[in-house]
Amino acid sequence: MDSSFLELIKFLPRWGNIEDLLQDEIEARYILKKGTTYMERIRSGDSNGDSEEEETRYLMCALVDRNWERIHTGHFSRVPLAIRKIYAIGCYFKIFFLLLESTSPAQRELCSGILDEAQLLGCMDDWSDLKVALMDYLDKGGSESPEPLPILVPLNRILSSCDIAQLEAPSLNEFKTKCFQPEQPTLLLNTIHHWPALEKWLDLNYLLQVAGNRTVPIEIGSNYASEEWSQQLVKIRDFLQRQFGKNKGNQEIEYLAQHELFSQIPALKRDICIPDYCTIGKEDQPGAVDIKAWLGPAGTISPMHYDPKHNLLCQVFGSKKIILAAPKDTENLYPHESEFLGNTSQIDAANLDFDSHPLVRKVKFFELLLQPGDCLYMPPKWWHYVRSEAPSFSVSFWWE
Amino acid sequence: MRLLFTGFNAFGQHEFVSGDVDSAAGFREINAPVSDQNQCTISVGWGYSAVASGRKLYLRGLLDSEPNESVTLEALDNIKALSAGDSNCLVLLQSGQLYRVQPKLNAELLAVRLESPPHPNAGTKRSIFGTAKEPQPPIVEHIACGTHINVAISSENAVYSIPSCLHQFPGRQFRVKQLECGNEHAVLLNGNGDVFTWGNGLRGQLGQAVLKVEETPQLVEALAGIKITHISAGGWHSAGISAFGDLYTWGLNCSGQLGMRVMKPGGLLKEPTVYPLPQLHDLPECGCTKSGENECAPLQVVAGSRHTLLVRACGRLWVSGWSWHGQLGKPVGSEFVDAFQALGGICLDTNTDRVLCGAWATLLYLGKR
């Protein structure tokens, strides 16, 4: 058993750390007691891959499968945190048991996928040291990418019309009085030029190296409101190859959209900074900020929709055409009736059809081009349509 | 009578009869505390099994703290039906009274008091003094439950989300033939061949075009005009068989449980995981010794959490869905099967044998021949 793996076991939860969480969960209790007990044997050097190991490994897989099912029952937002924590812990143990069985590259790939699923569905807040150590261990000696990816050429700023107010890197107070308080969408120019990301991320091989092994949810199909749209989990390296690699060909457009990439990959978080503007809240008390990544080729489209929080959309590379409409025009924008799409308009903002959507004539639309280094501030409930005009990476910050 | 089992048994929910695995199909014989005379009623939950014979109820599995725990209870009357849910097992007696019991070592049968339907089909009975008699408690005829749903249906066609009355099907002609539940939805078949669904439909399990939660039973319009003769509900999916022997499946297909392909050709991208509308299947030829289409028509369909079994009229079993815990019998060489295929080595007598599923289990009840 290699020593680096033994080092990892130090980070694994012990029974005392998780006993409280499992008070009302008899099945998880039974299985994790067996799991932690077995790991104590490994720590003290006593074990030989016996039938106890095989049985416990199976039980751990069953625990993960069972809690996957519980997480997928009912609405995701109402799944008890305890279940998501148990799922994450189960995944960690499952990974360890799989690695006890074998540490081949194929097994590490498998474990890598499990770790990422645990991140997406489970709650891993309590065990971030373990997560980082495990990610490092699993990424070592991964298969090298056959084709290097391009280094994108930074776009030169172009003169473009802008239908909303523009400010050049405003001060906090200026932002508060001119944008936040009056709920005025504003294009903030040259506001993030200090982010290392602006230079580093243009080299897609850097992204490949730091994040290539991670599994993320990708949107397929150009419009999330259409029937052909779907979401699936893919490895970032495969997504980058398909969408940015040399042989792009007839690939369907895939979009890494609205994903909390920076909690999954702490190294990338170091390349950006949360803008100070996000500290301005209703009571001047900084709350939590949701940070999401938006990465894709030219032609990705988010149909016109609104979000409930304040939004700062920051452009790292590439450019995006954005069309806005005010909350007061909501009744003229034909929102979908279904539960999922109530915040999405049925119209195609880039191809307005006044015959099927007559009320849209009354709407005042605002167009702009979001370019690298700039941020777009959007107040809550402002409708926005976004289309990438070039391979593009944006980071959004949502806060209340 | 024999009981054969395959699937998840890590908690000792089922006690194996000592002897070899029936290796042709991967099933093993299990003990059931029943005699040949008594009707045996079984319901298999995830962590425990519930078996009833006469007035006795046997629960077995991980009940309090360890595998292989068991408890025996006795009801006031013969037990007619069982439905093993995670936090409660529903127990229906021949008299129509409903009880529930927690799957624990110190379990007790607790009577379930259902509220009266708002407009009882029979007029209010009055005594000779003109005072209204206490309405009789509803006589329950069907029960089913999932992790987030508990349903009972009375002889008056009142539908209960236990204990509240959700809905009452109008008219005395309406006869409920079958009631099944998945994790969070219910499927009902009536004597006329109509299918109704309700509950959480966000994964297409209700067979309706719009994905949403339905509070009360809604007719599956896509099957209106087709006489359905058998239905089943799995974790997040549903299935139905028509009088013409056609199989329809709908809902979640993440593990091929609908018998539809999971990946697009090329193996990189997925097909849709949700099919909101019933999909008609073109099943392959059965390939059994009997000939003629009618001999092999789909007869019954049964479903677990993410797997589905089809009984064809010739007695052969066809399977699709998640197989990692052995739900589909002998190792299939992959985590799931995503097109219905025949299970070799099994030939059922469709008059005496039954197939039933637990969440991650498949049981064959082979009656006396």
pLDDT tens per residue across span A55-90:
999 999 999 999 999 999 988 888 999 999 999 999
Task: For chain A, say whether B205 makes contact (Cβ under 8 Å).
Answer: no
Residue B148 to residue A340, Cβ atoms within 8 A: no
Query: Which of B132-146, B162-176, B233-247 has maximum average pLDDT?
Result: B233-247
A288 band by pLDDT with thresholds 50, 70 and 90: confident
Q: Give chain A positions within 8 Å (CB) of B268.
A: 234, 238
pLDDT at residue B92, rounded to an integer: 97
Q: Give chain B positions within 8 Å (CB) of A340.
A: 211
Please give the Cα distance from B99 to B97 (Å, whole number): 7
Inform me whether the pLDDT recorded for B283 exceeds 60: yes
Inform me whether the pLDDT recorded for B49 exceeds 90: yes
Inform me whether the pLDDT recorded for B122 exceeds 60: no
Contact by Cβ (8 Å): B58, B92: no
Please give the Cα distance from B231 to B20 (Å, whole number): 34
Mutate which of A54, A73, A83, A224 to test chain B, going by most B C-beta atoms within 10 A?
Answer: A73
B36 band by pLDDT with thresholds 50, 70 and 90: low
pLDDT at residue A132, rounded to an integer: 87
Please give the Cα distance from A372 to A193 (Å, whole number): 8
3-state class (DSSP) for residue B294: helix
Inform me whether the pLDDT recorded for B39 exceeds 70: no
- Report the range of poorest mean pLDDT among A270-274, A323-327, B41-45, B288-292: B288-292
pLDDT at residue A282, rounded to an integer: 65
B90 band by pLDDT with thresholds 50, 70 and 90: very high
Please give the Cα distance from A43 to A131 (Å, whole number): 19
DSSP labels for B177-238?
A: EEEEE-SSEEEEEETTS-EEEEEE-TTSTT--SS--EEEEEEE-GGGTTS-EEEEEE-SSEE
Q: How many CB pairs under 8 A join A and B?
A: 53
Residue B269 to residue A232, Cβ atoms within 8 A: yes
Please give the Cα distance from B103 to A238 (Å, whole number): 47
3-state class (DSSP) for residue B295: helix
pLDDT at residue B274, rounded to an integer: 92
**Sign of the CA dihedral with B259 first, then B325, B305, and A226 last:** negative
Considering CB atoms only, which of A74, A234, A338 is closest to B212? A338
For chain A, what's the residue count? 400
Average pLDDT, chain B: 90
Task: For chain B, say whether A257 makes contact (Cβ under 8 Å).
Answer: no
Give B338: exposed, middle or buried? Use CB within 10 Å, 0-12, 13-18, 19+: buried
Residue B202 to residues A183, A247, A338, B49, Cα–Cα distance (Å) = 35, 37, 11, 29
Residue A30 to residue B273, Cβ atoms within 8 A: no
Please give the Cα distance from A256 to A388 (Å, whole number): 13
pLDDT at residue B266, rounded to an integer: 78
Q: What is the mean pLDDT of residues B26-32?
A: 88
Task: For chain B, say whether A54 makes contact (Cβ under 8 Å).
Answer: no
Phi, psi of A164 (to 5 degrees): -120, 175
Inform me whether the pLDDT recorded for A347 exceeds 80: yes
User: Measured between CA atoms, how close is B66 to chain A, in angstroms?
Assistant: 7
Residue A62 to residue B325, Cβ atoms within 8 A: yes
pLDDT at residue A127, rounded to an integer: 87
Inform me whether the pLDDT recorded for B126 exceeds 70: no
Contact by Cβ (8 Å): B213, B235: no
Specify the pairing of strand A383-388 against strand B28-30. Answer: unpaired
pLDDT at residue A230, rounded to an integer: 78
A281 band by pLDDT with thresholds 50, 70 and 90: confident
pLDDT at residue A97, rounded to an integer: 94
- Extract the tokens encoding A6: 């033994």
Average pLDDT, chain A: 90
Give B207: exposed, middle or buried? Use CB within 10 Å, 0-12, 13-18, 19+: buried
- Extract the tokens encoding A167: 């400010």
Q: pLDDT > 70: what percent of chain A?
A: 94
CA angle A58, A62, A65 (to 5 degrees): 140
Inform me whether the pLDDT recorded for B22 exceeds 70: no
B116 band by pLDDT with thresholds 50, 70 and 90: confident
Taking residue B145's Cβ as centre, other Cβ atoms within 10 Å add up to 25
- Extract the tokens encoding B115: 């509220």
Q: Return all residues near A373 (Cβ < 8 A) that are at least 6 apart.
A: A189, A190, A191, A192, A193, A198, A315
Query: Which of A251-265, B50-64, B129-143 has maximum average pLDDT?
Result: B50-64
pLDDT at residue A77, rounded to an integer: 84
A32 band by pLDDT with thresholds 50, 70 and 90: very high
Task: For chain B, say whether A33 makes contact (Cβ under 8 Å).
Answer: no
Q: What is the largest CA-CA distance in chain A?
A: 76
B178 band by pLDDT with thresholds 50, 70 and 90: very high
B129 band by pLDDT with thresholds 50, 70 and 90: low
Please give the Cα distance from A235 to A138 (Å, whole number): 14
pLDDT at residue B62, rounded to an integer: 96
A220 band by pLDDT with thresholds 50, 70 and 90: confident
Residue A220 to residue B269, Cβ atoms within 8 A: yes
Q: Return all residues near B145 (Cβ < 8 A) that are at least 6 apart.
A: B83, B84, B85, B88, B90, B151, B181
Torsion of CA A31, A37, A43, A47, to 10 degrees: -90
pLDDT at residue A139, rounded to an integer: 84
User: Measured between CA atoms, how close is B29 to chain A, in angstroms?
Assistant: 21
Please give the Cα distance from B187 to B183 (Å, whole number): 11
- Extract the tokens encoding A322: 């954005």
Inform me whether the pLDDT recorded for A303 exceeds 70: yes
Inform me whether the pLDDT recorded for B303 exceeds 60: yes
ipTM of the modeled complex: 0.93
- Report the range of poorest mean pLDDT among A116-125, A275-284, B1-10, B63-72: A275-284
3-state class (DSSP) for residue B56: strand
A141 band by pLDDT with thresholds 50, 70 and 90: low
Residue A27 to residue B10, Cβ atoms within 8 A: no
pLDDT at residue B119, rounded to an integer: 63
Please give the Cα distance from A87 to A63 (Å, whole number): 8
- Extract the tokens encoding A173: 């107070």
SS (H, E, C) chain A: CCHHHHHHHCCCCCHHHHCHHHCCCHHHHHHHHHHHHHHHHHHCCCCCCCHHHHHHHHHHHHHHHHHHHHHCCCCHHHCCHHHHHHHHHHHHHHHHHHHHHCCCHHHHHHHHHHHHHHHHHCCCHHHHHHHHHHHHHHHCCCCCCCCCCCECCCCCCCCCCCCCEEEECCCHHHHHHHHHCCCCCEEEECCCCCCCHHHHCCEHHHHHHHHCCCEEEEEECCCCCCCCCEEEEEEHHHHHHHHHCCCCCCCCCEEEEEECHHHHCHHHHCCCCCCHHHHCCCCCCCCCCEEEEEEECCCCEEEEECCCCEEEEEEEECCEEEEEECHHHHHHCCECCCCCCCCEECCCCCCCCCCCCHHHHHCCEEEEEECCCCEEEECCCCEEEEEECCCEEEEEEEEC
B123 band by pLDDT with thresholds 50, 70 and 90: low
pLDDT at residue A338, rounded to an integer: 74
- Extract the tokens encoding A230: 């779907």
Residue B194 to residues A44, B11, B185, B197, Cα–Cα distance (Å) = 63, 39, 17, 10
* Residue whose entry in the numeric block shows the structure tokens 């090298």: A144
B199 band by pLDDT with thresholds 50, 70 and 90: very high
Q: Calculate the CA B123 to chain-centre distance.
A: 34
Residue B183 to residue A69, Cβ atoms within 8 A: yes
Q: Return all residues near B314 (Cβ < 8 A) that are at least 6 apart.
A: B286, B288, B290, B295, B296, B347
pLDDT at residue A140, rounded to an integer: 79
Residue of B358, B147, B118 lying closest to A72 (CA atoms)? B147
Please, which residues bridge with residue B279 across strands? B249
